[in-house]
Amino acid sequence: MNGLFCAESVVVVGVSESADNLGQNVMANLVNLGYQGKIYAVGPRGGEVLGHPVYRTIAALPGNPDLAVILTPARFVHDMLVQCGEKGARWAVIESAGFRELGTEGEMLEREIIEASKKFGLHFVGPNCVGMMNTANGLYTTFVAFETPLRRGKIGVFAQSGGVGLSLVERLCTSGTGISKFVSMGNKLDLDEADYLAYLMDDAETAVIYFYLEGFKRGRSFADLARRCSKPIILHKSNTGAMSLTIAQSHTAVLAADDQVVDAVCRESGILRVHSVSEAVRAAKGFCLPPLKGKNLAVLSRSGGHAVVAADVCASYGFSLPPLERDTLNEAQSRSRAGVIRLGNPLDLGDIFDLPFYISVVEKVLGQHNIDGVVFIMVSQMAIEREVTRRLVESLAELSRQAGKPVATVMEIPLEERALLEKSSSSPFFLEPAEAVKALAVLSEWSKTDASDRLKPESDVSAAPSHGALTIPVKKIEKWFKDIQKQNRQPLLHEALDLLDLTGIPAVPWRMARRLNEAIEASEALGFPVALKAVSPSLLHKSDKGGLALDVRDAKSLRNEWRRLHKVSDDVVGIVVQKMAPASRELVIGGKRDPSFGPVVLTGLGGIMVEVMKDVSIRLAPIDTGAAMKMLGELSGKRILGRFRGMCEADIEAAARILVQVSLLMHHFPQILEMDLNPVSLDDEGKGAVALDARLLM
């Protein structure tokens, strides 16, 4: 993708001499902001713009451009792209709107430009986007004109919405951080989030990666790349309404709604998810500081009140404030005018008016072995201090770099002074103590994770777990699916239980009965008491419609329940007879095919209350037993699975094996849209776990 960001020649297509022409803005950016490559302009009316001739056709260009920026009406984009391809361009930014966002006709235009791009091996950004920028070489192709170059920094900003992306860019560039590259992704018709992430992972100019996405085009690829990425990734994912919730027909699908899956993917892949531009800016500023290798902070403040506020926030995020060394405190005491300085951590420097001394104190505190980072709060309203105050941010940033420890500098200064600082500072600063401490909390979570752990996939089904690698008989299961698919219907309960038997997932002993005498024989063979479950295409949740009879203890009770169950629905085809399982701790285990990420697996505290409790853990499938054990350990109610009120520890290893097997089913068989084992009953440790019910949707 260097051909896009480091293009040595650019043609802007759709330029005219009209005052409101957006192509002129692109030309102005390229001419005025430092781009050193060749610049061409094309427009049907010809003329001249900013000293550059406007050629009437692309074929008339005297050179072959590397990159084309297209701003014509949508109906002309295909022809322009073909002409650019014939001229040798292999990269394009299509800023024109009027494609899928306008319906069927726009979708047809999209198909046409995809065909053209494939013909010439040409890749493009957009369409329907603001453009892209590379601050390292002055390649600004946005139709938004800038008066001066943006602050160069190490944060890459890639946004599906140009407006949101530019808002973040403006905030970063006035927060002392700056950006490396910017892309407004638009409709992501060709290049998408996975393409950009793959490039940014190796981009030397980018240290922190930000994405604003309203939807994923290749969510699974994005997650796989993120898991291997050694750089912090900040994701602002909006459009959080569950796309598939309206068609969800199982507990799993309800509990693993699209946004919950995004959260799970972020946790699993080491992505920091944020929900606002402000949250993203705060995190980005934190990631621009040196690593925070522990939880011990020093709070140094010009204001005692601000110090107290900072200390409260530190406590709420699990930070400690260890004592400062006596020499440091004694020197601060000696500089105090009134002798009322509060000695300790936090350290109140309120009556010391020697700003260079603050630098000395911070340097000494950073040298203290049991201090991992510093929150420094500068509060000043005095005009005489303004010049020194502006230099304070850069001085503290340099100390931070030298010590290899973060200094989060808070600037509580007048608005006009802050505006000047925003224009001049090339180092990050914060506007209030809470913002600084929250940024350090994010940095702490990132820093404490060893790079090798971040780069090691959590789920590796090829790795043999401690009790042997788990597999499923794929060929046998394929025949099961073919038999159901031939009949063009959903699997019934007894067929889903057959699938469990094929897969090797333990279930409570059961038999299918189509006649009363078969049910009585099955009950006697299994042994009373039994559970009876009506088998019907319309009975998805049997307990909701009376399609379930529990603790049936004799043949007489069975006959009564048999008659009742057949009245529940007109399409009852039989009754599943199951041995009653002793009451125990229960889980739900299931899978879902997510529209963005493909197969996922879920577990949670089960039974009829699962949708009320919503205590679940989610992973992309397939998983290994290590990941399955982690999932069970993430449940808020995990104490119930341990020794609890006289009960022995539950057999969570058996539950983990079932989780793995369900994940393998989801992985190998894309026919499965939703799968539910609810409940799965856990016996005591070493005695196994069994599924009591199964539901499958294809």
User: What is the per-residue pLDDT across 303-339, written as a single tens digit (0 to 9) for each?
Assistant: 889 999 999 999 999 999 999 999 999 888 888 766 5
Q: How many CB atoms lie within 10 A of CB 160?
A: 26
Q: What is the pLDDT of residues 637-680, one digit of tens each?
A: 888 888 877 778 889 999 999 999 999 999 999 999 999 998 99
Task: Please give the pLDDT value at position 247.
Answer: 44
* Residue 569 pLDDT level (bands cut at 50, 70, 90): confident
Q: Which residue has the higher pLDDT, 554 or 351?
A: 554
Task: Please give the pLDDT value at position 76.
Answer: 96
Number of domains in the chain: 4
Q: Give domain status of residue 514, yes or no.
A: yes
Burial class (CB in 10 A: 0-12, 13-18, 19+), 633: exposed
Percent pLDDT > 90 in the chain is 74
Q: What is the pLDDT of residues 522-559, one digit of tens each?
A: 999 999 999 999 998 887 655 556 789 999 999 999 99
Q: What is the pLDDT of residues 76-90, one digit of tens each?
A: 999 999 999 999 999
Helix (H, G, I), strand (E, B) or coil at 105: helix
Percent pLDDT > 70 in the chain is 91
Task: Please give the pLDDT value at position 244.
Answer: 47
DSSP 233-269: EEEEE---S-SSGGG--SHHHHHT-HHHHHHHHHHHH
For residues 550 and 640, state if they share a domain: no
Q: Give domain status of residue 159, yes or no.
A: no
Task: Please give the pLDDT value at position 607.
Answer: 60
For residues 594 and 690, state if they share a domain: yes
CATH number at residue 6: 3.40.50.720
CA angle 394, 399, 403 (to 5 degrees): 150
For residues 469 and 618, state if they share a domain: yes
Q: Which residue has the higher pLDDT, 557 or 585?
A: 557
* Boundaries of domain holding 60: 1-128
Q: How many residues does the chain have?
A: 698
Task: Please give the pLDDT value at position 70.
Answer: 98
* Residue 384 pLDDT level (bands cut at 50, 70, 90): low
Q: Are 193 and 158 in contact (CB under 8 A)?
A: yes
Q: Which of 448, 469, 495 is the last residue of a domain?
A: 448
Indicate the pTM of the whole model.
Answer: 0.90
Span 596-609, average pLDDT: 84
For residues 494 and 372, state if they share a domain: no
Q: Give domain status of residue 134, yes or no.
A: no
Give the contacts of 1 (CB within 8 A, at least 6 positions apart).
Answer: 123, 191, 195, 196, 199
Q: Give domain status of residue 685, yes or no.
A: yes
Task: Please give the pLDDT value at position 611.
Answer: 59
CATH number at residue 667: 3.30.470.20
Q: Which of 529, 552, 580 is the last residue of a domain?
A: 580
Task: Please give the pLDDT value at position 246.
Answer: 47
Return the structure tokens found at 338: 């009134």
Q: What is the pLDDT of residues 145-155, one digit of tens each?
A: 999 999 999 99
Task: Please give the pLDDT value at position 141.
Answer: 98
For residues 28 and 113, state if they share a domain: yes
Residue 273 has pLDDT above 70, yes or no: yes
Span 430-439, average pLDDT: 96
650-660 b/e (C-beta count within 10 Å ≥ 16 → b): bbbbbbbbbbb
Task: Please give the pLDDT value at position 449.
Answer: 65
* Residue 249 pLDDT level (bands cut at 50, 70, 90): very low
Strands 52-55 and 38-42: parallel
Return the structure tokens found at 151: 């602050």
78-112 b/e (C-beta count within 10 Å ≥ 16 → b): bebbbbbbebebbbbbbbbbebbeeeeebeebbeb
* Residue 410 pLDDT level (bands cut at 50, 70, 90): very high
Task: Please give the pLDDT value at position 338.
Answer: 63
For residues 617 and 471, state if they share a domain: yes
Task: Please give the pLDDT value at position 212.
Answer: 95
For residues 408 and 375, state if they share a domain: yes
Q: What is the pLDDT of residues 49-73, one digit of tens each?
A: 999 999 999 999 999 999 999 999 9
Which residue's entry shows tokens 């197969």? Answer: 599
For residues 499 and 518, state if they share a domain: no
Task: Please give the pLDDT value at position 458.
Answer: 46
H-only helix segments in 569-651: 610-613, 625-634
For residues 82 and 118, state if they share a domain: yes
For residues 562 and 472, state if they share a domain: no
Q: What is the pLDDT of residues 332-350, one digit of tens each?
A: 888 876 655 668 999 998 8
Q: What is the largest CA-CA distance in the chain?
A: 99
CATH number at residue 527: 3.30.1490.20
**Integer Cα distance of 95 and 206 in angstroms:** 24
Q: Give domain status of residue 153, yes or no.
A: no
Q: Give domain status of residue 537, yes or no.
A: yes
For residues 482 and 554, state if they share a domain: no
CA angle 573, 576, 580 (to 5 degrees): 160
Q: How many CB atoms lie within 10 A of CB 142?
A: 24
Residue 452 has pLDDT above 80, yes or no: no
Average pLDDT score over the chain: 90
Helix (H, G, I), strand (E, B) or coil at 574: strand
* Residue 684 pLDDT level (bands cut at 50, 70, 90): confident
Task: Please give the pLDDT value at position 544.
Answer: 53
For residue 618, what are the CA distances in angstroms to 602, 622, 663? Answer: 5, 11, 11
**Integer Cα distance of 288 and 652 in angstroms:** 42
DSSP 546-562: T-EEEEE-SHHHHHHHH
Q: Give domain status of residue 526, yes or no.
A: yes
Q: Which of 448, 471, 487 is the last residue of a domain?
A: 448
Residue 159 has pLDDT above 80, yes or no: yes
Which residue's entry shows tokens 């047809």? Answer: 108
Q: Which residue has the higher pLDDT, 299 or 257?
A: 299
For residues 363 and 482, state if they share a domain: no
